[in-house]
Amino acid sequence: MSILGVVVRARAEAVADVAQRLAEQPGVEVALNPGDGRLVVVMEDVDGANGEPSAARTLADVATWPGVLGTSLVWEYSGPDAPAPEGSQMADFRAWRGRPGG
């Protein structure tokens, strides 16, 4: 299970649309919208039985949406119950944090 705390920065004219689109994503909750272009968002892995993406994939996708200026990962939980990335032989949920090059 992965849970991400994220700040999404959107263009002023796109904030409402971005917030609405975020709210429609599985495993995503808009926790705070102060109205200044920042959205505080919680993303978590969902079952995936219906092809839903992981929280990390959702974060990467949101960064490319029209009207989104940027995303910032503020907090992350990856517990032992977190699924390994697709196609990965990663057995330890902390393995991705290893040093570069192995």
pLDDT in tens, 67-85: 999 999 999 998 766 555 5
Taking the CA atoms of 59, 57, 25 and 1 in sequence, report the sign of the dihedral they define.
Answer: negative
**What is the assigned CATH class of domain 2-76?**
alpha beta
Per the CB < 8 A criterion, the answer to whether 41 and 6 are in contact is: yes
What is the arrangement of strands in the sheet containing 2-10, beginning at the earlier edge strand? 28-32, 38-44, 2-10, 68-78
Question: For residue 22, what pLDDT is reported?
Answer: 97
Question: For residue 102, what pLDDT is reported?
Answer: 45
Question: For residue 94, what pLDDT is reported?
Answer: 53
pTM: 0.74
pLDDT in tens, 24-74: 999 999 999 998 999 999 999 886 667 778 899 999 999 999 999 999 999
